[in-house]
Amino acid sequence: MNNASRWYWLHCLSPLHIGSGDGVGIIDQPIIREKVTEWPFIPGSTVKGVLRNHFISQEESKQAEGDFAWIDQAFGRGKGKEEELAGAVVFSDGRLLAFPVASRYGIFAYVTSPLVLERFKRDATAMGIDVTMPDMSSFTAEQAWITKDSKLVDKVSKTSLTVYIDEFVGNAEKNTEWDTFATWLGQQCFAGDTESQRLFVERCIVVSDEVFQYLVTMCSEVTPRIRLNEETKTTVDGALWYEEYVPTEALFYGMMWCDRIPAQEKTTTKDALLRHLETQTVIQMGGNATVGKGRVNYRAGGER
């Protein structure tokens, strides 16, 4: 992997709402989705803006007296400063890696699909990482792959490996190659957190693209909201609406890279600039922060 690029990983610790404007159906405020796939994503501009504010607050807490040189180099410097500066670090959109869905066994599952993993492999290749995945070209609509220690099947039955994921019922197969890849993936997403790695490996499952599409479009979280009259504390007429959320436990990944260092900023290197972003922290994204929404665990780094 090129030293001037990094993975970043986002793990939803609470429901996440990054809106796409007013909806035209029963959901008044839907989440933003890719136009072609209808899968939720996190805009790169959102990631960049939230991280910039986070690192500025971190530097201010150190009482650095405005020593934000690397932040301006990475994220840019806008109008009102002594000199405008374009940010050197580029953030891709956060792409969906695993979608959490209720399961009859194991409480919930981290659901992914062959197409999701093929896109992940393609992105890894672009970053110079050789990712070896099992061949999933012959997947059927009823098929599912689980790991050898999966919690998603009945432990009492010695013969049946049936999974019940929301409305999907499928015949599961304990696939050794998928087990190996899932273990590696968990280590990348949850580096240093062995408990979360174990939880991911025990609950990750591959289903067909068609089943995944149904789950992602039909199993998001929808919450009714209502507005009260400030004086009487009674419901305002017509002030009921429905908001859509990405569920807690959803996993996203993205890429960030540094193409250049501005000519006037020769005090650092591309790799040194990206190392500032290699951290793990909890940040808030999207709307409704005052009611506990949008808490996301951010981590950058991984194999390179």
β-partners of residue 89 are 258
What are the tens digits of pLDDT across the range 154-193? Answer: 877 766 789 999 999 988 999 999 999 999 999 999 998 9
Alpha-carbon distance of 146 to 166, in angstroms, equals 16
Distance CA 280, CA 88 (A): 21
| Residue 19 confidence (pLDDT) | 84
Give the C-alpha separation, 167 to 219, whole Å.
10
Is the pLDDT higher at 4 or at 146? 146
Residue 95, beta-bridge partner list: 41, 253
Written as six digits, the tokens of 229 are 């009259």
Residues 6 or more apart in contact with residue 88 via CB below 8 angstroms:
73, 74, 258, 259, 260, 261, 262, 265, 270, 273
- The residue length of the chain stands at 304
pTM of the entire predicted model = 0.90
Q: What is the pLDDT of residues 35-78, one digit of tens each?
A: 999 999 999 999 999 999 999 888 766 655 556 778 888 888 76
User: Could you give the C-alpha distances from 270 to 106, 258, 265, 276, in angstroms and in order?
Assistant: 43, 6, 11, 10
Ordered DSSP codes for 116-158: HHHHHHHHHHHTT--------TT--TTEEEE-TT-SSS-SS-S
CA dist., res. 292 & res. 169, Å (int):
33
pLDDT digits (tens, 9 = 90+) for 205-249: 999 999 999 999 999 999 888 878 777 777 777 678 889 999 999
**Separation of alpha carbons 33 and 28, rounded Å:** 15
pLDDT value of position 1: 46
